[in-house]
Each structure stands twice: as structure tokens, then as C-alpha cells.
Amino acid sequence: MMPKGCSSRSGASVKTRWAAAGFGTPNLDISRESTRRRLGFAVTQEPVTAVQLSRGKAEAQLLFEITLLTQDLGRLAADLLLFYSQEFSFVSLPAAFTTGSSIMPQKRNPDVFELMRGRSAVAQAALNEVLGITQKLSSGYHRDLQLIKPPLFRGIDSCLQTLEILPSALGGVRFRPENIRLDPAIHAAAAANALVSKEGIPFREAYRQVAAKLQDKK
């Protein structure tokens, strides 16, 4: 379980009620409230069945958040890889984060960003593994639950490694404005809206006028 200060919506900021193997530890004169307060948890989780059925949920919730984060990072990497390609050449990447080609002397491979893009699959696979382990279990403790730990740690480690290298990798990215050309048609919607505002015509008519002008220029 996670101490107070972690995301409360994840349901992880709770303290278990001495669940042990699944059905509590009777006859121990220990104050649950005092223990909860000392450990910094928000609430005490009870009844004991809630403790039983929560095994794996905190791990899955954490891996879900990691998956969303790595998907965002993967999409950023994918955009940079596209703009780095010879067809676009909108950006240059730091030499320290690229490698030489095994056969083409002129080529630099954007390995770091390609691996960053692929790491989203690692996180999602870890999440699916945890959910797959817990989805068919009956109530109580089962030895299957120990199999949650490898995908949990794998997902965490993969994310932390990506975040550790990200600032340096992004810090060396440079845009190449001389290669970036915007199509004038990008302002077509703004031109149509301007006609609506200035001439008071319906948008559909402004749309047709702007489209006709752009067609004439081709």
C-alpha cells in the first residue's frame, strides 16, 4: 500500500486491516487507528474482504498510470522520429543520442528515441500481465499473487530509465526552420471565419468561396 500523499483516486492511500493470508489476525491487541496514523495512511481499509480483493489493484493502478505516461512519451518520440526522417528533416537530434549505421556511412540512427517509443509497449504489457494474473482468482490469498512483482518492477524500472534520459535527449533537439514550409491553405478556416464576421454571410457560403479561391490557385 502507498502512504498518504499518493493519488487518493487510485484507492491506494489506505491501510489494510491485518488481512494476513486473507482472513485477518485475531486476538492481537493492536490499535489499527494508531498504526494508520503513524504510517501516514489516509484511512483503514475494511472489511477484511475488501483487503482480500484489493490485492493487485494498487499495482495495476500504478502500471496504468505508467502506461499512460509512457504512451505520451512514445508519441513525442514518434513525432520527433518522423520530423527527423530525411523526407521531413524538420529537426536534428544530438549526436550523443544517435548511433552510426552498420552499412551506410552517412546515416545516424535515432536509437534512443526509437527505444523510447517502444517502451510504451513494455508498460502496457506489464499492466496486462498483472490484470491477467488477478482476474480469475477466487477470494483470499493465492501464491499466484507473487507473480505480480516481476511485471510491476519491470514497468517501474522501464519508466524510470526513460524519464532519466529524457531531459538530456530533448535538450539536444534542434529545429531546422529553413526546412519547414507551411502550406498557405493552413489558414483556410480562419479566412472563412473572417468572411462570416466581416460580410455577415453564412459559414457554408464562406466555405465555398475560400475553397474556390484555393482551387483556382492550384
Q: pLDDT (tens digit, 0 to 9) for every residue of the chain, 218 residues total?
A: 344 334 444 445 655 555 666 666 677 777 878 888 998 888 877 777 777 778 899 899 999 999 999 999 999 999 999 999 999 999 999 999 999 988 998 889 999 999 999 999 999 999 999 999 999 888 878 899 999 999 999 999 999 999 999 999 999 999 999 999 988 899 999 999 999 999 999 999 999 999 999 988 76
State residue 44's pLDDT score. Answer: 78
Name the residue among 14, 20, 58, 18 with its Cα closest to residue 40: 14
- Is the model's pTM score more than 0.85? no
Name the residue among 91, 77, 108, 79 with its Cα closest to residue 178: 91
Tally: H helices and E strands in the chain: 7, 6
The residue type found at 94 is P
CB atoms within 10 A of CB 140: 13
Ramachandran assignment for 96, one of left (phi > 0), alpha (psi -120 to 50 degrees), beta (any other): alpha
**Alpha-carbon span 40 to 95, nearest angstrom:** 46
CB 72 within 8 A of CB 64: no
Instruction: Kindly list the domain boundaries of the chain, sorted by start residue.
Output: 1-53, 55-179, 184-217
State residue 35's pLDDT score. Answer: 82
Question: Nearest 5°: phi and psi at 100?
Answer: -75, 150
State residue 142's pLDDT score. Answer: 87
Q: Give every CB contact of residue 77 below 8 A, 6+ residues apart in sequence.
A: 113, 114, 116, 117
**Alpha-carbon span 111 to 101, nearest angstrom:** 10
> Superfamily for 55-179?
Fumarase/aspartase (Central domain) (1.20.200.10)
